[in-house]
Amino acid sequence: MDVATRLTLAHEAARTGAAVAEGGFRGEFTVESKKRKLDSVTEFDREVQRRLATLLREDDPDAAIVGEEDLRDVETHSTIPDSGDAWIVDPIDGTNNFVVGNRIWGVAVSAVEGGDAVAAVNEFPALGDTYAAADDGTTRNGEPCSVSDTSDPETFTINPIYGLSAHHRRKLSEYVDTIASEFGDSRRFGSSQFALSSVAAGELDAAVSGIRLAPWDTVGGVHLIRQAGGTVTDLDGEPWTPTSAGIIASNGEAHDELVAAFD
């Protein structure tokens, strides 16, 4: 399958999942906690992943499906296979927002070949924004977009992505302090894919995390940023991969300063 076809399929999957989730947004549904109190899953997370996995398998039967939710009836991987093709799915990124009726949640679908992302779509239906990329740049709602051109670190707006586990809380507060003392302002949204999409479209200058984030929270958004002209590394400044323990994603204009500031 060529990358243009993969992008089309990613769009179709994201749209399908978004329509399913939109049907439940601000309605009544069941919510459960997974391993941690803040790690929520709803019946819509599971249903969207089920629908996406079925749709993607129909068109690409040999590809692995990597997804956030553990479904009894659908085979899903939790890590990206070393070889072959895979689809990475976050059925709802920003579930805690979805649960309380906050609009910042989306469906993330990306295609990986031999470990490398080749197409990605992050759709945020309640916001009306869809970010997408194959191999010829990134679009927001079908129009080309690019990372910001902010170059003065003191004016950078940065999203410190944290996660849902309590033991990393100290790291988050250190990151917020560093942003306040060495950079500009901080933002937090409760959705890693939203943060990364925002960097890709120049709505944020950078997003950083000191913890290893899941592939469904990152791979698509990282591809969007790289295709939009940005830079994504690990905390040592080496190119980011899904196994990196931390991420510095930026417009590239003050990347060395970011790498020096966060560890």
Ligand X SMILES: O=P(O)(O)OC[C@H]1O[C@](O)(COP(=O)(O)O)[C@@H](O)[C@@H]1O
In the complex, least distance from residue 50 CB atom to ligand X, rounded to whole angstroms: 16
For residue 178, the tally of other CB atoms under 10 A from its CB is 18
Q: Which of 94, 125, 202, 221 is the binder for ligand X (CB under 6 A)? A: 94
Distance of CA 61 to the CA centre of its chain: 24
User: Does the annotation place 28 within a ligand binding site?
Assistant: no
Measured from the CB of residue 194, what is the shortest distance to ligand X in angstroms?
8
Nearer to Mg ion, 48 or 199 (CB): 48
Please report whether residue 150 would count as binding ligand X according to CB under 6 A: no
Binding string to ligand X for residues 48 to 77, with x set by CB under 6 A, is what? --------------------x---------
The answer to whether the annotation marks 92 as part of a ligand binding site is yes
Q: Does residue number 192 form part of the binding site for ligand X (CB under 6 A)?
A: yes
- Long-range contact set of residues 39-42: C-beta below 8 Å, sequence gap at least 24: 39/164, 40/95, 40/96, 40/99, 41/69, 41/95, 42/92, 42/95, 42/98, 42/99
161 binds ligand X (CB under 6 A): yes
110: left (phi over 0), alpha (psi -120 to 50) or beta: beta
Smaller CB separation from ligand X, 39 or 113: 39
Q: Which of 60, 69, 93, 253 touches ligand X by CB under 6 A? A: 93
Which residue of 156, 175, 183, 189 would you call a contact of ligand X, by CB under 6 A? Answer: 189
Kindly tell me which residue out of 190, 221, 230, 252 binds ligand X, with binding defined by CB under 6 A. 190
Residue type, 90: D
Cα–Cα distance, 23 to 109 (Å, whole number): 19
Please, are residues 125 and 226 in contact by the beta-carbon 8 Å criterion?
Answer: no
Which residues make up each annotated binding site? Answer: 68, 90, 92-93, 217
Residues in contact with ligand X by the rule CB under 6 A: 68, 90, 92-95, 161-164, 188-192, 195, 213, 217
